[in-house]
Copies of this chain bind each other. A is one copy, B any other.
Amino acid sequence: MAGLKIGFFGFGYVASTFACGLERIKAGEIDLTGIPLENKIPQHKVEDIEVVCGFDVDKRKTGKTLSSAIQMYPELKDMKAFEKIKIFKGINLNSTEGMPFEGEGLDHDKSLEECAKEITEKIIELNLDCTITITATEPIVDVDSVDELEKIIKDNQKDKITASMFYAYCAFSAARKRDRGIVHINGIPSKVANSPVFVELAEASSSVLIGDDISSGQSRMLSDLMEHYKEINRKILSAVGANWGGNMDFYRLQDEKRNESKKVTKTGCAQDILGYDLPSDIKPHGYLAPLGDKKAVFMHFPMKLFNGAEDEIFICGRINDSPAAAGMLVDMVRLGAVAVSQGEKGVIAPINSFYCKWFGKQHSKILAYQELMGWLGKK
């Protein structure tokens, strides 16, 4: 099978880890641990994936190669292949406001229309099979129709659109123009796969849209624990799902507006599964730089059982954010490509339910896995 060419919108720690892990696997240094489906997808082996480029707005990275990004993360290992991976200027749209580095986007001196043209052409030129948005969390912005979206871009209304929306637009524009579908993954908690507008764009371009937000850590565990307790009919009395971290995502969540999007995603999940209202505090709680990408997590559930008795569970630990997401993405790009090649388009429910966070009424990941296996013909 031919390779899968991947481009990242946002070349931070997740993208760097994805590229680094893949190279180490190809070099035989590490095994497939942390990639859910390993090499059980017959159409695409893990080793078929090739990171081809990135787009970013951090001035320390743009115009350079992946090696420049890797050097910012001492725990990642620089490798020869990284010299081939270019990082182009992406779209900023104020997304670097308040961040501890200087931002530099195409939009600093170009209109939205010019930016869209440039990024779309780059996707076509590099013949990308899959694009992945994995920038820091944005405030949620919504758009009502494809027409409205196109008007915003045409009229250069930079305050009515976010980077993740813009990137999705470019991906599907490229697919339509080249007349070959693309897999686009929105890996952050903005409204793209959950927006009818972008689903329409995906379908119109024979493309597959996966997202929003990757379910890889605490919220994933929470969903399966809620299913576990629901099946034995426990009554959860309250729920804490707190975490603290030191990566750029936590840095940005210090801005309360951005944290709101995380909170919505996470609380809904527990209630959807349990089927009743649950007093809860489930969200990222703070930025503590020394924790780095390995966040500290805490969960607490008191619950009722038979004859009025009360159990109580506390969970704590350290959980890597980016390697967990990167491992999931290794599956998502391949499953998306399988779907495109089978002529499926839009949002593919069995993929979305297992790998992502926020899509309609949620159910547990263990049940979503059964659905995914069915879709894959494994059951």
A287 CA / B324 CA spacing, docked (Å): 29
Interface centre among A232, A237, A314 (most CB of B within 10 A): A232
B38 adjacent to A288 (CB under 8 Å):
no
Stretch at the interface among A97-105, A141-149, A172-180, A364-372: A364-372
A305 adjacent to B320 (CB under 8 Å):
yes
B285 adjacent to A281 (CB under 8 Å):
yes
A228 CA / B354 CA spacing, docked (Å): 11
For residue A279, CB closer than 8 A to chain B, the reply is yes
A234 CA / B217 CA spacing, docked (Å): 12
Contact status of A290 and B237, CB under 8 A, knowing A300-B296, A317-B314 = yes
Contact status of A304 and B228, CB under 8 A, knowing A285-B242, A311-B317 = no
Write the nearest CB–CB distance from A352 to chain B, whole angstroms.
16
Interface centre among A21, A316, A369 (most CB of B within 10 A): A316
Q: Name the residue on B nearest A322 (C-beta).
A: B309
A306 CA / B30 CA spacing, docked (Å): 9
A224 adjacent to B228 (CB under 8 Å):
yes
Contact of A231 among B233, B311, B313, B366 (CB under 8 A): B366
Q: Name the residue on B nearest A309 (C-beta).
A: B323
Write the nearest CB–CB distance from A365 to chain B, whole angstroms.
7
Q: Can you sample 24 A-B contacts with CB below 8 Å? A: A17-B306, A34-B304, A36-B233, A37-B233, A220-B232, A221-B228, A224-B366, A232-B324, A232-B328, A237-B290, A240-B285, A240-B288, A242-B242, A242-B298, A244-B300, A279-B290, A291-B302, A298-B298, A306-B323, A307-B323, A309-B324, A312-B318, A367-B370, A370-B370
